[in-house]
Amino acid sequence: MISQKLYTPEMAGSGQRGICAKCGKPTTKDGHDGCLGTLPEDVVMNACCGHGNDRQAYIQYWDKSDVRGKPARSEQHRLRALEHGQ
C-alpha cells in the first residue's frame, strides 16, 4: 500500500500532491486540490482550498490579481459550479 501525505492548513499553497486534511480527497491527476477539482483554466492560474483553514484559501488569476480567505472559498464554490454547468 502506498502512503500519501496528509496536507494540513500550514501547507496550503505548497504545491502538494497528497490528501487534504479537511476533505480527505487526494489531488486530481492534474495536481489540483481534490475538493476544488479543475476550476476554469482560462480564468484561474492556481488555487488552494486552505485544507481546513479558510484564511489560507486563495485563487490567483492569470492577470496576477488574487482573492484570499473566506471570499476565495466562496469564489471557488461559484467557479466550480460554473465549470460543472450548475
Per-residue b or e along 30-43, where b marks 16 or more CB atoms closer than 10 Å to that residue's CB: eebbbbbebbeeee
pLDDT for 24: 86
Cβ proximity of 76 and 39 under 8 Å: yes
pLDDT for 2: 42
Tell me the pLDDT tens digit for each residue of 16-63: 667 888 888 888 888 888 889 889 999 999 999 988 889 989 999 999
pLDDT for 20: 83
Tell me the pLDDT tens digit for each residue of 8-18: 545 545 556 67
pLDDT for 1: 41
pLDDT for 10: 56
